[in-house]
Amino acid sequence: MADELKILSPEVVEDTPFPNQDETSTSQTSQGTGETVNPATVKTQGMPTKRIAYEVIGSALNTKSRKILAVFEFTESGALQIGKYENGVSGDLRITPNGITARDLAGITTFAIDGTTGDAVFKGTIQAESLIAGLVAVGNNNVILDGENQRIVVNDGTNDRVLIGYQPGGF
The closest of 134, 128, 127, 136 to 149, measured between CA atoms, is 134
Residue 36 inside a domain? The answer is no
Distances (CA, A) of 15 to 9, 23, 42, 43: 18, 8, 10, 12
Domain tally for the chain? 2
CB 165 within 8 A of CB 149: yes
Residue 56 banded pLDDT, cuts 50, 70, 90 = low
Helix, coil or strand: residue 58? helix
| Residues 118 and 58 placed together within one structural domain of the fold | yes
| Residues 141 and 118 placed together within one structural domain of the fold | no
Query: 95 lies in which domain range?
Result: 54-122
Q: Are strands 80-82 and 67-68 parallel, antiparallel or unpaired?
A: unpaired
Please report the pLDDT score of residue 113 as a whole number. Answer: 96
Whether the full predicted model's pTM is greater than 0.75, yes or no, is no
More confident site: 101 or 8: 101
Residue 16 inside a domain? The answer is no
- The predicted model gives 107-115 an average pLDDT of 94
The pLDDT of residue 29 is above 70: no
